[in-house]
Structure 1
Amino acid sequence: MPKVTDTVTTPDGSCSVRLFTPDGAEGPWPGVVMYPDAGGVRETFCQMAAKLAEFGYAVLLPDVYYREGDWAPFDMATAFGDANERARLMFMIGTLTPDRVTRDAGAFFDYLAGRPEVTGQRFGVCGYCMGGRISLVVAGRQPDRVGAAASFHGGGLVTDSPDSPHRLAARMRATVYVGGAKNDPSFTADHAEQLDKALTAAGVEHTIEWYPGAHGFAVPDNPPYDQACAERHWAAMTDVFASALPR
């Protein structure tokens, strides 16, 4: 699997990134930014980015926590059960404000636009848990640069905050896909209804679906990982990207 390890200069510093492209194929390919869950970039997300690349994409995997320096990786099997690790995890999540992720996304898209492996000036974004929320924030705040956005077991998509992603619907120009988890208090049936109404009123092409897996179903090192749901999520995401991102 071809992989480039590089650094992207953002308005806030230097972000380490990995760029994955299909093996044994000639590009260029549509560019996609993959946002990890709260555990950040780790081996399981390298594997996921490589898998997405094999469907015909140049996939950028950024260290979203780069501002925190050389941070220690999380063990997602135990992080939420350990009080200290949970506190550290929640702190790290809190550092990724909408303004910060918007600035970062602009730098990531500039980087992709300048790579010979990448075609087009509009990109895909996908994310998991925390990254699912980031994907919709970026779709709303960088509408001219996002052609497709996919969120899987994303939380906080509908909140009372002025920064809630659903309040950005009127600005979105991307095709949006949301895959919700069962019994997930961070994205409930009521949240889905509100998000659907906002996207429909804004004329955004979108799909909101429910998966029978629990929160974390698509990420292999999460305890609730569900292989059948994970395979379904790959099919759904690549269908959306294939229809919305020109080759």
Structure 2
Amino acid sequence: MCDNDSFDDMVEYQLRSNELSRRRFGAIAMGTSLTAMLPSLAGAAVALKETEVEIKTPDGVCDAHFVHPAEGKHPAVLVWPDIFGLRPAFREMGKRLAESGYAVLTVNPFYRTKKAPTAPEKADFNDPATRAALMGLAGALNATTAVTDATAFVTWLDAQTAVDKKKKIGTTGYCMGGPLTMRTAAALPNRIGAGASFHGGGLVTDKPDSPHLLVPRMTAHYLFAIARNDDEKEPNAKDVLRETFAKAKLPAEIEVYPAIHGWCPPDSRVYDEAQAEKAWGRLLALFKTTLV
């Protein structure tokens, strides 16, 4: 998937304690509901059905969260979490997306080794043992496991009565999940109509299996929401992405946000509500025009 240096970059934000939003992180510590931290949709009153599911893959059984409107068929969305894995914050994000009319599957990417939760509550990368454990989980994944999993998850989604198979599927990824969306889109171009990477790491590398090299195989329209500090480290990555998508004649919205790597999940130490809401709005706009 990407080398150890890339994973180090993807999780560096956890070490930036001086940039911690103390007010919001303190609210989490005191038990504030994650649902309350995710602004509700104006006038939304959508009845949802959510379940914890198990999905068979060639490598085992993946535990995942599936949520969708209680009635009807809807476009599916496959969500790849960050290195902290499947947890309450991502379940709530899935529910919020389902309120907008999508059947959302959020997976545990580390199922081969451990069922969720795969990270301690309020995990801290300043703790060497925690960091080593999670880096070990992430480092066990690669381009092959990504394709194997994406194929199994999309096949499972297409077998669900809540999923409208006549409409394209979307996929979103956070941090290490960003490149996983690209591998998904390249492996299943006939089904994946849209992809979105939020503060994704390792999107453009010098490796022969770099995710950006897969763009010619895709048909998906894309959103890349890039963190300010990630762009400072790799200022050319956004330009390579623009050139690659333009050459493939695929639409891609690529923007550097004035936020720190990891700003989107509401339980992040660097959660930036204003910029997270902007990114969420762009995601909904992408899905509205492509998952048809």
Displacement after TM superposition at 1:4 (Å)? 1.9
Gaps of 5+ in 1: none
2:133 matches 1:88 = yes
C-alpha separation in 2, matches of 1:241 and 1:120 = 15
CA distance in 1, matches of 2:126, 2:187: 34
Rg bigger for which structure?
2
Normalization by structure 1: what TM-score?
Answer: 0.94
> What's the secondary structure of 2:147's corresponding residue?
helix
Aligned residue for 1:32, secondary structure, equals strand
Distance in 1 between residues matched to 2:232 and 2:258, nearest whole Å: 15
5 Å matches for 1:189-208?
Answer: 189-208=235-254
For residues 55-108 of structure 1, what are the alpha-carbon distances to aligned partners after superposition, in whole Å with 9 as ceiling and x for unaligned? Answer: 110000111111003465324754311111111111111122111011111111
Q: Secondary structure at the match of 1:204?
A: coil
Q: Structure 1's 183 and 69: CA in aligned 2 closer, same or farther, altered over 3 A?
A: closer
Residue 187 (structure 1) shift: 6.7
Residues 168, 186 of structure 1: alpha-carbon distance in 2 compared, 3 angstrom cutoff: farther
Which deviations, in whole Å up to 9, do the C-alpha atoms of 1:151-193 show, x marking residues without a partner?
A: 0000100001111111011111001110001111697321010
Structure 1 residues 20-78: Cα deviation after superposition (integer angstroms, max 9, x where no partner): 113xx632110000110000001111111111111110000111111003465324754
Specify the alignment match of 2:119 in structure 1.
74
Superposed CA RMSD in Å reads 1.7
Matched, 1:33 2:53: no
Contact 2:87 / 2:116 at 8 angstroms: preserved in 1? Answer: no
SS in structure 1 of the partner of residue 228 of structure 2? coil
Q: Distance in 2 between matches of 1:54 and 1:226?
A: 22
Report the alpha carbon displacement of residue 218 of structure 1 after superposing the two structures with TM: 0.4
Query: Contact 2:85–2:117 (CA<8 Å) still a contact in 1?
Result: no
Residue 274 (structure 2) pairs with residue 224 (structure 1): no
**Identical amino acids, percent of aligned pairs:** 39
Q: Please list every run of at least 4 consecutive aligned residues from structure 1 whose deviation after the TM superposition is greater than 6 angstroms.
A: none
Equivalent residue number for residue 144 of structure 1: 190
Is residue 128 of structure 1 aligned with residue 174 of structure 2? yes
Q: What corresponds to 2:109 in structure 1?
A: 64
CA distance in 1, matches of 2:231, 2:118: 26
